[in-house]
Structure 1
Amino acid sequence: MYSFSVQRNNDPYRIEAVDRALTLVTLLAERGSLSVTEAGRELGVAPSTAHRLLSTLCHRQFAVQGDKRLYRPGPALLALAKAGGPPLADRIRPYLQRLYDLVGETVHLMVRTGAEIRFVDGIESRHPLRVGLRTGARMPAYCTSGGKAMLADLEPSEIDALHAGGLPPWPGEKIHNLSALHETLEAVRRNRLGVNHEESEPGVTAIGASIGWIDGQHAALTTVLPTVRLATVDLETVTTHLLQVCADVRQAFGDNRDTKTAR
């Protein structure tokens, strides 16, 4: 844990607001999450002051407000943190390639932002009848396989907070309320797999598994294929490969989920 008090007290050229903002940036980078109460305590200021500082960091994308009203590193801070190393998609690419080599179907890497997911990388199948890449697309997490797998990582209270205004409508939705979502996620936790059977789009079936939090991003791997070819695919083998590759990713990069939800 860093100590900030000595420098704050002794530096005659210190600008209070800048010092406080940089202190919060450092704490976010160190801890992975920060509440308004914690920020105020570390800075020795009222919660209202801490809230204004954190809101300013959010405006400049150095922080984002996530689950349980905790603030987490934002895109600008993550970009700085990763300046000396490859982005998440590049780091996970070898594992995505290995999954593709094993299953021969279209595979994706997706990340979760709040109640949505975004496809950030993928490799398209060579089958004549296949599902194309969705890189860059966004969808509600609850109607995608990887999204369900990531939501299953969260506590029920976190899921409720993410969907406080109800589930966002989606054309192929099969989960219509929070009660049904919680029931679905219990099955996902037992099986370690999220399944999307024509929920994100007609004619598409996908299986996904979470790889946890890496570089401050909640991510999952998925394999997807046309529903009409389901009968020709050994799904047990596909899911075995998917779970093994995801386990290898977690072992290689760690899952800092605990440090992001413990405070």
Structure 2
Amino acid sequence: MLRNETPDRVESVHRALVLLKLLGEKGSLSVTEAAKALDVNPSTAQRLLVTLVGDGFATQGERKRYEPGPELLRPGAAREIPPLRARLRPHLERLFERVGETVHVATLVGTEIHHLDGVEANLQPLRFGLRIGVRLPAHQTSAGKAMLATLPREDVDARYQVAMRGARGADMNVDLEDLHRQLEKVRRQRVATNFEESEAGVAAFAVSIGAIDGERAAFSIAMPIARFTKADLPKFAGALLRTADETAEALLL
């Protein structure tokens, strides 16, 4: 690491600040990685990391790696935390293990959803493929309806009024009154559905996770409608709600 030999610099403070920056950028650090970054002995790096743990700026997670602590993650703290996709990935994989169908994480941007990440059910002979990077109208998707249902009615109206005045507004094909009826049902049940609204032959189910660092996110399950039965719905709803609640407890401060 290049050293900035600024006069009167307190070296121990500088090293602690470097570690804080690395924790924000990388998401976790081992003692060996910290020592290499600081060009110090592992024992010195460990003492610095232990000090950060003691003051709440770091925690020691699995495999003895150090991760950002509550003081570094609290609202308003200057930080560079791991991207939302990385933070949600373990929970997405847990959802996949519970249902065995293709699952996605999506965020809400205006009146569209953006698929951030997914796990494909590649053992199924007839399956729904990944849609990572694909943007779809929120009102036609289970994830979009799940996230829209967390917004006040006036917020939903404002989003669609702006969108319908845009260049593609005439092609949006949205009935706001019907959408509000669907969203009210989602608010009661928490789980949103999509039966061939966004794509022919697809059944999808979703639940909102909430707003994480200002981004509204949702988990969804998608499968070919030819394989869907009514008996699947309670299983999927239970897995979605359980996973969303676990995720919110882990990530929402």
**Alpha-carbon spacing, 1:168–1:219, altered in 2? closer, same or farther (3 Å):** farther
User: In structure 1, how many angstroms separate the alpha carbons of the residues matched to 2:195 and 2:147?
Assistant: 17
Amino acid at match of 2:171: P
| Post-superposition offset of 1:215 | 2.0
* Pairwise CA RMSD: 1.9
What is the CA deviation profile of residues 175-210 of structure 1, one whole-angstrom value per residue up to 9, with x for unaligned ones? x41110101100010000111110110001100000
Match of 2:144 among 137, 147, 168: 147
When normalised by structure 2's length, the TM-score is 0.64
**Alpha-carbon spacing, 1:87–1:198, altered in 2? closer, same or farther (3 Å):** same
**Alpha-carbon spacing, 1:182–1:211, altered in 2? closer, same or farther (3 Å):** same
| Residue of structure 2 in register with 1:115 after alignment | 111
**Alpha-carbon spacing, 1:124–1:168, altered in 2? closer, same or farther (3 Å):** farther
| Residue of structure 2 in register with 1:133 after alignment | 130
Amino acid at match of 2:95: L
User: In structure 1, how many angstroms separate the alpha carbons of the residues matched to 2:217 and 2:82?
Assistant: 16
User: In structure 1, how many angstroms separate the alpha carbons of the residues matched to 2:171 and 2:97?
Assistant: 35
Q: Secondary structure at the match of 1:208?
A: strand
Q: Secondary structure at the match of 1:231?
A: coil
Confirm whether residue 94 of structure 1 aligns to residue 90 of structure 2.
yes
Alignment of 1:70-219 (within 5 A): 83=80, 85-125=81-121, 126-164=123-161, 166=164, 169=171, 176-219=174-217
Amino acid at match of 1:132: G
User: Structure 2 unaligned runs (5+)?
Assistant: 1-77
Q: Secondary structure at the match of 1:202?
A: coil
| Residue of structure 2 in register with 1:238 after alignment | 236
Indicate conservation of the 8 Å contact 1:110/1:118, yes or no: yes
Amino acid at match of 2:186: V
Q: Which has the larger radius of gyration?
A: 2
**Alpha-carbon spacing, 1:168–1:82, altered in 2? closer, same or farther (3 Å):** farther
When normalised by structure 1's length, the TM-score is 0.62
User: In structure 2, how many angstroms separate the alpha carbons of the residues matched to 1:190 and 1:251?
Assistant: 21
What is the CA deviation profile of residues 81-103 of structure 1, one whole-angstrom value per residue up to 9, with x for unaligned ones? 663x3211111101000000000
User: In structure 1, how many angstroms separate the alpha carbons of the residues matched to 2:246 and 2:170?
Assistant: 33
User: In structure 1, how many angstroms separate the alpha carbons of the residues matched to 2:79 and 2:178?
Assistant: 38
| Post-superposition offset of 1:230 | 0.5
Amino acid at match of 2:144: G
**Alpha-carbon spacing, 1:86–1:118, altered in 2? closer, same or farther (3 Å):** same
**Alpha-carbon spacing, 1:168–1:246, altered in 2? closer, same or farther (3 Å):** farther
User: In structure 2, how many angstroms separate the alpha carbons of the residues matched to 1:121 and 1:183?
Assistant: 29
The count of corresponding residues between Structure 1 and Structure 2 is 171
User: In structure 2, how many angstroms separate the alpha carbons of the residues matched to 1:137 and 1:187?
Assistant: 26
User: In structure 1, how many angstroms separate the alpha carbons of the residues matched to 2:196 and 2:83?
Assistant: 31
User: In structure 2, how many angstroms separate the alpha carbons of the residues matched to 1:153 and 1:106?
Assistant: 24
Indicate conservation of the 8 Å contact 1:122/1:135, yes or no: yes
| Post-superposition offset of 1:233 | 5.6
Indicate conservation of the 8 Å contact 1:140/1:168, yes or no: no
Amino acid at match of 1:187: K
User: In structure 2, how many angstroms separate the alpha carbons of the residues matched to 1:137 and 1:95?
Assistant: 21
User: In structure 2, how many angstroms separate the alpha carbons of the residues matched to 1:242 and 1:162?
Assistant: 26
